[in-house]
Structure 1
Amino acid sequence: MNTPLYNRDILRLAASIPHQSRLDRPQASATRRSPVCGSIVTVDVVLGADGRVAALGQEVKACALGQASASLLGAHAIGRSPDDLAAAGDALAAFLNGTRDDPGSWPGLEQLAAARPFAARHASILLAFQAAAEAAAKAAVPTATMAERR
């Protein structure tokens, strides 16, 4: 592969993460950590009445690839459903591990193609999508159901 792993596009994304602050009053939050490199991402969400992401906050402490992925998540998460977020993460994981030829329909994920041969980097790349999907799924659970789980 001739494309460098940390290319200009990855570095540009890593330097411009949208929604890079925690929400004051999230409906739900989720934190994911990569055991391989120690990268950690926390995502806060608020869902609107339509069940879609109305507000997003992220705290990203990750390598440039994890930051780039969080940037792509943040740029397109508003207006997405919990199922959309889960499907995007699943498609990205399949793309990275080679069981899928394309990264799915989430805009910009093809920019992470250079990381496909580097399996040790995949966990960091997936953190933001996994945390967002988990937080959105938690927020989608009716309040009564959440109280029953405690």
Structure 2
Amino acid sequence: MSIATTLYTPQVLGLATELAAYPLGDNLTFKGAARSPVCGSAIEIAFELDGGETIDRIGMKVHACAIGQAAAAIFAKAASGNDREKLSLALGQIEDWLSGKRTELPDWPGLEAIAAARDFPGRHGAILLPWRAALDALP
């Protein structure tokens, strides 16, 4: 089975197209970015908070492979209501899962769609981008 049929499933490609629902606008206050040194994928992210410390609105500009784009869509769909602490915890769980320190999927909705990418270390950096950029953006 090729990498294309293993990773780039219709579900992954569908997720990548969902990024259009999260445009990066100047009206979002908290801005961050991340880049993967391995593959060159990059993301710009911005948030508006709900008056407290939790994410209310999100915008993104993603330059990544379909796995990175799908990861960004998965992140965006579940980001609202999260704060810095929850995002940091999720990032740690995802890093542990990708490295093999954790066998079960991290507690973030939708990650099962890109679970096959765990076997492709060259894609790990792209998967982590949304969480890293979000932590860069939040106070």
After TM superposition, the score normalised by the length of structure 2 is: 0.89
Kindly state the Cα deviation for residue 18 of structure 1 after the two structures are TM-superposed: 5.9
What amino acid is aligned across from residue 25 of structure 2 in structure 1?
A: L
Q: Which residue of 2 aligns with 1:49?
A: 51
Alignment of 1:14-29 (within 5 A): 14-17=16-19, 19-29=21-31
Alignment of 1:1-150 (within 5 A): 4-17=6-19, 19-136=21-138, 138=139
Contact 1:23 1:56 (8 Å CA) reproduced: no
- Flag the 1:59–1:25 CA change in 2: closer, same or farther, 3 A: same
Instruction: Determine the C-alpha separation between the residues in 2 that align with 1:70 and 1:19.
Output: 12
Instruction: Determine the C-alpha separation between the residues in 1 that align with 2:104 and 2:44.
Output: 26
What amino acid is aligned across from residue 69 of structure 2 in structure 1?
A: Q
Instruction: Determine the C-alpha separation between the residues in 2 that align with 1:94 and 1:88.
Output: 10
Q: Which runs of 5+ in 1 are unaligned?
A: 139-150
1:74-128 alpha-carbon deviations (Å, 9 max, x no partner) = 1011111111112112211111111111232210112221011111110011101
What amino acid is aligned across from residue 57 of structure 1 in structure 2?
A: G
Matched residues, percent identical?
36
Task: Tell me how many residue pairs correspond in the alignment.
Answer: 137
- More off after superposition, 39-48 vs 15-24: 15-24
1:46-93 alpha-carbon deviations (Å, 9 max, x no partner) = 212221001211111110000000000110111111111121122111
Kindly state the Cα deviation for residue 11 of structure 1 after the two structures are TM-superposed: 1.2
Instruction: Determine the C-alpha separation between the residues in 2 that align with 1:70 and 1:101.
Output: 22
Q: Which runs of 5+ in 2 are unaligned?
A: none
Q: CA RMSD in A?
A: 1.9
Contact 1:66 1:124 (8 Å CA) reproduced: yes
Tell me which structure has the larger Cα radius of gyration: 1
